[in-house]
A and B are shown apart, each in its own frame.
Chain A
Amino acid sequence: MTEGSAGASAVRVRGLWKRFGDQVAVAGIDLELPAGRFIGLVGPNGAGKTTTLSMLTGLLRPDQGTVEVVGHDVWRDPAEVKARIGVLPEGLRLFERLSGWELLTYTGRLRGLPGTEVDQRAAQLLDVLDLAGARHKLVVDYSTGMRKKIGLAAALLHNPEILFLDEPFEGVDPVSAQTIRGVLERYTASGATVVFSSHVMELVESLCDWVAVMAAGRIRAHGPLAEVRGDAPSLQRAFLELVGAGGRDAGTDLDWLGGGPR
């Protein structure tokens, strides 16, 4: 978004492969994600989004290929990479027997931030994310939306350059979703990069300025939102065309459904 960071790439992926047994989850991805953008990784369930994000963040070892984050190899130079990224994975637990406050101070101190700084940042994050009232409640008793928000707070605490979010809006109520959105928009406006995965096209269309479309373990299209959308009326349409589901129509089946004779 800022002029200075245009052209620089936040993440550079080359020939990334991952198989689980016979199943190929990620089938050779080459991708450059520009810095300073709000990037959406979209695709149907099972497209390989979570597997890809896990490999980008060093939580899953790829079978082949390299990942560079802000110019540092994820596997050869983990110290440089881990200090610069924030992650909110999907399907992994948090330390749920800590309260929201304790989880944040724990994460901050593990990250090596000074104690007073952690306390200050944690209090502000809890405030902004509407969690101040639940700060002393155990995370195990949080709702889905609250968990996503506390996860986001933990990912933002050390002020990372790049934020990776896996389905951050899944199962989140509209109020929490709006709060998360507000925080992310403020964060990217300052020049940071957000990479998030979703299968909700409307959401991606309204939030992102750069998208990568995934299906069956491959990247089908990538680039600025307008470019990927092309002539299609919406990203949803363009996406259905790209993944080859555009022609499918429910018109002829289920013709008994609806009005008329029961």
Chain B
Amino acid sequence: MRSMTPVFVRLKLSLLRNGLRQSAGRRAAYAASVALVLLFAALLLLGLVALRGHAHAASVTVLLTALLALGWAVMPLFFPSGDETLDPTRLVMLPLRPRPLVRALLVASLVGAGPLFTLCLLVGSSIAVARGAAAYAVSVVAVPLGLLVCVALARAVAAANIRLLSSRKGRDLAVLSGLVIAIGAQIVNFGAQRLGSAGLGRLDPVTDVLGWVPPASVIAGVDAVSEGAYAGGAARLALSALALAGLLALWSRSLTRLMTSPDGSTLPSAERGARDRSRSAGLGRLLPHGRTGTIMERSLRYVWRDPKTKAAWVTSLAIGLIVPVFNALQGTGSIYFACFAAGMLGIQMYNQFGQDTSAFWMVALTISSPRDAYVELRGRALALLVITLPYATFVTVLTTALLGDWAALPEALGLSFALLGAMLGTGAWSSARFPYSIPQEGYKNVAPGQAGLAWISIFGGMVAAALLCLPVIALVIWLHVSPGGGDWTWLLLPLGSAYGAAVGVLGLRLAAPRTSARLPEILAAVSKG
């Protein structure tokens, strides 16, 4: 009871070791990732030391520390299973008091690659900004303080949200994690590019504020002391110390609450009623009656409620917007990039039945003719169009506005709609011909052994859709090269739309008999997840 700290440090080390013992692949992956983190940390350390004396050294280091702290705060929400000692509910049967427990857990969480990386960054940042003996002396306090704030932040966030993280909603959130990181990386990348062109001086106002936010304030404190502002330095350090105390108190309180109240999974949760009902009623009224509306309603609900479907949609929506709009913003864009939105969203039509998982049996039992299959596929395509049609139009108009090329709007829209129709048509056909399972757990989107099938389905389908659009593309080119043809490009809007609709309907018509003839085979293919 007197000293729990070594016990928890040893527990953490054993968990690490045992995790590695499970398989050689895991060992190799862990060794590689640790090596990579260490290499990156070493490079970062060198880079920060090289920054020493640079006019904007303080701005850069403060910003980096703030970003790192943000990472610590967000990480436990997306990777809840990363550290078993993070889950205090596992310790609930042991007679532990909060204060020594918090101390022990805090020390134990300093073991690992993440804290080591943080330590490197903080040491490098201090070296970059510190000038004079006083500043170095302050660094000796500032660096451990910064590290402790980061770790305590992660723990406090995790403990406060453990109910959420161990529930179904938490697991749903984890499915979206990769996506958040991917989109975050896009935004950071874009921000960095803008900074590169605008100069680091842009950062100064931001970092003036961040310099007062723990744990970034420890680096700003070292910087202040270097400049002789001892009071300001002390105040910034004190702010971080205060934050640490506050976080530890918060953590300790959630730990006590967690360990003295029943587990969230055993409590009934039937309080979501009224909200659901009102939404479904509103949605249902706008959709057509009968089978078509029923199918559309279910598809649209799944876009919002099923984490896998939602992740796929958000990816498509984000990339479909980012590529044309960012390119237009950077002045390298073309209006034809707007077709990206239609193309990315059209992908959602692929593997329709795989998105149902083995629940497809419920659909299969209600399809007894090619006509039923046609209505089923058409309902799904219409549900897609409810989102994709306005969105593709919006992206195209936005891109046009950014480029200022309003004359080209009709042809860009026509091309987009033709591509969308072709994607829906080929998507329906390949849903019937090449269905595959989407595992519901984890980040993978293909069941083992079906990766080839998925590639044929999506890649082959996209190539086919592009080929199907050739007549429209040819018409665009012809109108542009022929003398006086430029006056007639508006024709592409009605022609492209009609062509897209025709190709889409044709795809559905071809897919329907295949679907109704292969119901057991489709069910078997989508039930492997």
Contacts and interface: CB of A to CB of B under 8 A. Distances in A.
B368 A78 contact: yes
A31 interface: no
A138 B270 CA distance: 9
A58 B365 contact: yes
Interface string B317-360: 00000000000000000000000000000000000000011110
Interface string A74-102: 00001101110101010111111111001
B34 interface: no
A133 B269 CA distance: 11
A89 B524 CA distance: 14
A107 B298 contact: no
Given A57-B365, A97-B306, A136 B277 contact: yes
Interface stretch (B2-10, B144-152, B175-183, B287-295): B287-295
Contacts of A58: 364-365, 519-520
Given A93-B358, A106-B298, A109-B291, A136 B272 contact: yes
A95 B269 contact: no
B83 interface: no
A137 B366 CA distance: 25
Contact of A92 (B269, B297, B359): B359
A110 interface: yes
B17 interface: no
Interface size range on B against A: 35 or more
Contacts of A133: 270
A28 to B, nearest CB: 20
Contacts of B369: 78-79
Contact of B359 (A85, A87, A94, A134): A94
Interface in A94-122: 94-99, 102, 105-107, 109-112, 115
B305 interface: yes
B116 to A, nearest CB: 39
Interface residues of A, number: 40
A110 B520 contact: no
A133 B520 CA distance: 35
A60 B520 contact: yes
Given A61-B521, A110-B291, A99 B276 contact: yes
Contact of B358 (A81, A83, A85, A92): A92
Contacts of B301: 97-98, 102
Interface string B269-288: 11011101100100000000
B269 A137 contact: yes
Contacts of B524: 60
Nearest to B272: A136
A167 to B, nearest CB: 15
Contact of A96 (B290, B293, B359): B359
Interface of A: 57-61, 78-79, 81-83, 85, 87, 89, 91-99, 102, 105-107, 109-112, 115, 133-138, 140-141, 154
Given A83-B368, A85-B365, 14 more contacts: A79-B368, A82-B367, A87-B361, A93-B357, A93-B359, A95-B302, A102-B280, A105-B294, A106-B294, A106-B297, A107-B366, A109-B290, A110-B295, A110-B362
